[in-house]
A and B are shown apart, each in its own frame.
Chain A
């Protein structure tokens, strides 16, 4: 069985401050990892993905994530957030099949 844990349901942060959204996973097989962003009443947009290779992955909108196999983590980071980054962020994985397993999401709220 596979699972994704996003411990922080909400993360408030001031504009231009750095942010880290945490994601831990559990799987008995090798996995591919993803971060998606969902703006209100919209679909999911792919931010970045880790399939293989370098453990530091850069995505759109200045986000990056680091795959840490020993800690089974895939935390998302941005050095300086903007108001427009306010959204729900989902970590997800797939392994041994094509269906995505999602975490419960983290609501990022950027304040002035």
Chain B
């Protein structure tokens, strides 16, 4: 029973390049969440998606960041024109669609982005 999968695990980009982070939720889960962990800090919510819908993007920076969760395939977090301040660990979590269970989120191993 595979857990939440994220790839790549490590990503190095130069300033100005694009970063694409992928997340495959647990089998049977239809809700996906993205969080960012800056060095020496806790996790901060970025965005919450269901298939083909963005439910809550209140934690997303207004520019350069976007997220999608298409009908087929993984969820993608895209960061355009990366800057050094984007260096962080990005975690994806998923939860079931069942309303009685959706409060519990299961996390992937994270993608560690380093911007040079």
Query: Which A residues are within 8 Å of any B CB, using their own CB?
Result: 32, 34, 36, 41-46, 49, 51, 90, 92, 94, 97-105
Contact = CB atoms under 8 A, between A and B. Distances in A.
Contacts, number: 60
20 contacts: A32-B103, A43-B91, A43-B109, A45-B107, A46-B104, A46-B107, A92-B43, A98-B31, A99-B45, A99-B48, A99-B56, A99-B58, A99-B59, A100-B35, A100-B45, A100-B105, A101-B45, A102-B43, A103-B42, A104-B41
A107 B88 CA distance: 19
B45 A104 contact: no
Interface string B100-116: 00111111111010000
A33 B6 CA distance: 25
Given A49-B104, A100-B105, 10 more contacts: A41-B112, A44-B93, A44-B107, A46-B107, A94-B103, A98-B55, A98-B102, A98-B103, A100-B45, A102-B44
Interface string B63-85: 00000000000000000000000
Nearest to A51: B103
With most chain B CB atoms within 10 A of its CB, the pick from A51, A100, A103 is A100
A29 to B, nearest CB: 13
Interface of B: 4, 6, 31, 33, 35, 41-45, 48, 55-56, 58-59, 91, 93, 95, 102-110, 112
Given A32-B103, A43-B108, A46-B106, A100 B91 contact: no
Contacts of A36: 107
B19 to A, nearest CB: 18
A37 to B, nearest CB: 11
